[in-house]
Amino acid sequence: MRHFYHMNTNTEFTLEESTFHRCIEGLQKDDQAFLVSALEFSCANHKNQNRKSGEPYIIHPIGVAVRVLERYHDIALTAAALLHDTVEDCEGVTIEDIYSQFGDEVGFLVDSVTKQRTDFFKIPGVIIEDRIERLIWAGMKDIRVLLLKLADREHNLNTINYLKNHKQIRMAFETQAVYQPLKRILGYTEGYQVQEAARAFAAYAESQGLHSAGDIKMNLMAESFENFDNDLFGLVYNDTKSIIWKITDFQTYKKICDTDKLSGIIQFLSVCGNKKWFEASFCFLGGVVIDGDIQLGISSFRG
């Protein structure tokens, strides 16, 4: 049974809320009511919160919800998008509240993308300390966990410039290492529906012989980064500003030089080579995700 939370208010809708209401107009009445209750719960609990950009925080969950609703037409996923930051960012909201008021499907999705958690509310005995491995493990149970996270990260990248430089670089690094490969595998930009994405993920894991969340994480990182393991990932994530990167493919170097959005974001420190080999070292000055096939390695660490 679905339980509704109602916020008694005569406050006018924001533009984002109005956009969301237009998006759900064609849905069944009970689905509309369920999503409106999730919207009201999110609005009530994110009230007076702002993003780094200065905008009301509620813009973010609504933006993520609109993305997943238009892509996947999945009610539980859309509700989870509206609620995905409430446990993490709103005082007094617990994962028990989400399960109680919005049911097990939505509860599991929100539980899975909540950063501070290492266990799962309704799966006793499972504790995963690594945040990304926990996310992938949950995505192996329900692919909508990963679809929600991809939409969340996509929306957050729109305001990456409002973060401090080292936080920009950290977010971009994590996106390059994990979420860019997942977007490709799950057909995120190709319009795969939920079941298609689930089949694609299962086929990817089977074809690569990957049986655990840790194996999948390592394989994802290997697509963009040379010789990475969990320890190195953690080191880079926690100290991105100290990393000097390298590329050993001239075509990748040329692509970076010719890409306007990378101008002023990547600073080359040395470029050398001959007919047999090539190496360029560089540092990131801000956060950017490099599209396409690339292989980055670590050249050195700045003291």
Q: Which residue numbers are catalytic? A: 88-89
What does the alpha-carbon distance between residue 178 and residue 172 come to, in Å, rounded to a whole number? Answer: 10
Tell me the angle at which helices 29-45 and 59-72 cross, rounded to the nearest 10 degrees.
160
Residues 6+ apart with CB under 8 A from 174: 132, 237
End-to-end CA distance of the chain: 57
- b/e map of 120-143 (b: 16 or more CB within 10 Å)? bbeeeeeebebbbbbbbbbbbebb
Other residues' Cβ atoms within 10 Å of the Cβ of residue 5:
17
Tell me, what DSSP letter sits at residue 176?
I
CB 201 within 8 A of CB 143: yes
76-91 core/surface letters (b: 16 or more CB in 10 A; e: else): bbbbbbbbbbbbebbe
> For residues 238 and 177, what is the distance between their CA atoms, to the nearest angstrom?
14
